Structure 1
Amino acid sequence: MNEFFTLRQDGAIAHLQLSRPERMNTMSPAFFPALRDAVRGLQDDAATRVLVISSTGKHFSAGMALDVFAGNASADIAPARERRDPNADSQRQAVGALMQMLDTRSPRARLSFQESLRRLIDCFTALDEARFPVICAVQGGCIGGALDLATACDIRVCSADAFFTVQEIHIGMMADLGVLQRPAKIVPPGVARQMAYTGERIDARRALETGLVNAVLADADALLAHAMELARQIAAKSPLAVAGSKLALNHARDHGTAASLQQLTLLQSAIFDTTEMAEAIAAWKDKRDGEFAPLTPIARI
């Protein structure tokens, strides 16, 4: 259990919902490993075919808690201490680790900073690398680190009041958790650069026009319903074929066409399953959901 989000399983669909609306669902240090561990736990168990990430309250997330950068990280854990929150100790440890990471006063400290940042980035890379698709449903603000999270997902949908911004430029830093790398593969490069350089807000209409989101819904309720229906459509397909498709798409995103086609020949030979195909074809003809076995769980070493 953690204070940042709830995680529920409904058959093959997992739903991770940010649950700190009173703090605009800001991301304090302990959030990142909690998210990483939750996603990789779902991957290892192999029951999940789709993950939906949504939020509560007015905004999806205001990103990293700014008091961390201001050197006042203890402010975020003080309320937990007052509530006798069992997570307070782990939060204090995470805050301490982050403050140590932010020390760049010497060459040794900077070398340590690089490794710490790689591990922080890995917390969102877990979404990108998951064997199942991840759908991000955004209402209200998707700010700073929240945009890093959203762009690590496979599909984004939003409500009409949503907006997206690279907040880091406003506080004098370069965004560093993936938002300078992934959006340029999602939206036109000029749009990604303008967002990064200016920190301007991209509203829902503009997000749809540029391809940052796949759909805009009227409100948060309609948004979640749409995301869940999309998840149900994906979950009804062969999890083997969906996982293979994600691997191929991610490889093609990061490599040239020739290398990607070569990877595809190896991948297809590894997962080609005529029994799976026969069930999929029968289900399609009968206008029903296919009956597919889950992927094999991953041994935890």
Structure 2
Amino acid sequence: MDKLNCFSLTMNDHVAHLVLNKPESLNTMHPTFWRELDTVLHQLNNEGKARALVISSTGKHFSAGMALETFSGAISMDADSPEGRAAIYDSLTDMQSTFTLLESMRIPVIAAIHGGCIGGAVDMVTACCIRYATQDAFFCIQEINIGMVADVGTLQRLPKLLPMGLVKELAYTGRRLSAANALNHGLVTQVFDTQEAMVAGALACAKEMANKPPVAIWGTKQAINYARDHSVEDSLRQMGWLQGAIWSNPHIREAIVAAKEKRPANFPPLTPLKGFKTYG
């Protein structure tokens, strides 16, 4: 992968660690951010080497959200004509697809959040599987404060994670949700005293996941996401199809033997993905 400007990426023990590394700009989301994040996520998903992903950040805040120059520079939005307004749909769909990849990629994603998680950053972390936070972390649907509607996933995913009344209160007022209240309502699963302890905890959890059969982790993620958006009957039907596709006696035997022998299990990696664009 070419050198990244907005992130750093490392890999240890099948755990990928992606770090937002533009603290001087509060890790705001500008066109380069979007392009690099999209490229990294596609690569991790396609290669099949990583078995879990942790996303953390640097500086004062996790991310201050969308860089305002995004809308006046490389991704300008023409609101003066019906044709221009219609094109906004395609621009937003492109941006939404990047965060949706966090949700749909084959591995678990843990967001480790410190300081402010503001605006577009809320869109981002709600697409992750698990969220950890520091005591000083807070969440803010900033868009309402600048005359906008949050449009890259917050209003679609947050009601699946928080009580609807609380979502409306946050979305209509732009108030901050503290880490303690986020923990109480289940938006985050753990709160840590320091950023260092939080990142260490996230990496430890990711390593634990990476020691499980990758195909079983993938199937579990598929089943949970599907069940969230479908009826129990439909989800049970999907589970039957899914289990029929991924069932593996060798994986089960290896997991049992490794547990008895008190050693790490040895599972094959996920098969690399190759679409038509990678051929030729």
Query: Shorter-chain TM-score: which interval?
Result: over 0.9
1:169-216 per-residue CA deviation (whole Å, 9 max, x = no partner) reads 000000000000111111112221211111110111001001110000
Deviates more, 1:2-11 or 1:271-280: 2-11
Retained in 2: the 8 A contact 1:44–1:300? no
Say yes or no: does 1:32 pair with 2:34. Answer: yes
> What is the CA deviation profile of residues 198-251 of structure 1, one whole-angstrom value per residue up to 9, with x for unaligned ones?
111011100100111000000110011100110111011111110000000111
Residue 60 in structure 1 maps to residue 62 in structure 2: yes
* Structure 2: gaps spanning 5 or more residues: none
For 2:6, the equivalent position in structure 1 comes to 4
**Structure 1 ranges of 4+ moved more than 4 A:** none
Tell whether the 8 Å contact from 1:147 to 1:164 is kept in structure 2 after alignment: yes
| Structure 2 counterparts to residues 1-301 of structure 1, below 5 A | 1-69=3-71, 71=72, 73=73, 95=74, 98-99=75-76, 102-301=77-276
C-alpha distance in 2 between matches for 1:30 and 1:22 = 15
List per-residue Cα deviations over 1:37-64 (Å, max 9, x = no partner). Answer: 1111101100010000000111100001
C-alpha contact (below 8 Å) 1:237/1:289 kept by paired residues: no
Q: Partners of 1:171 and 1:289 in 2: how far apart? A: 51
Q: CA RMSD in A?
A: 1.1
1:60-79 CA-to-partner distances (Å, cap 9, x unmatched) read 0000112444x4x4xxxxxx
Gaps of 5+ in 1: 74-94
1:114-157 per-residue CA deviation (whole Å, 9 max, x = no partner) reads 11211110011110111000000001000000111111100000
Decide which moves more: 278-287 or 289-298. Answer: 278-287
TM-score normalised by L of structure 2: 0.95
Secondary structure at the counterpart of residue 25 of structure 1:
coil
Deviation at 1:33, TM superposition (A): 2.3
Q: Distance in 1 between matches of 2:172 and 2:246?
A: 43
Inter-partner Cα distance in structure 2 for 1:117 and 1:59: 24
Distance 1:62 1:24 in 2: 6
Q: Report the alpha carbon displacement of residue 167 of structure 1 after superposing the two structures with TM.
A: 0.5
Q: Is the 8 A contact 2:13 2:207 kept in 1?
A: no
Give the whole-Å Cα distance in 1 for the aligned partners of 2:204 and 2:13.
14
What is the TM-score normalised by the length of structure 1? 0.89
Q: Report the 3-state secondary structure (helix = DSSP H, G, I; strand = E; otherwise coil) of the residue aligned with 2:132.
A: strand
Query: What is the count of residue pairs matched by the alignment?
Result: 274
Structure 2: distance between partners of 1:108 and 1:66 = 22
Query: How high is the sequence identity, in percent, across the aligned residues?
Result: 46
Q: CA deviation at 1:257?
A: 1.1
Amino acid paired to 1:36: D
After superposing the two structures, state which structure 1 stretch, 31-40 or 202-211, moved more.
Answer: 31-40
Which residue in the other structure is 1:81 paired with?
none
Alpha-carbon offset, residue 106 of structure 1: 1.7
What is the CA–CA distance in structure 2 between the aligned matches of 1:240 and 1:251, rounded to whole Å?
16
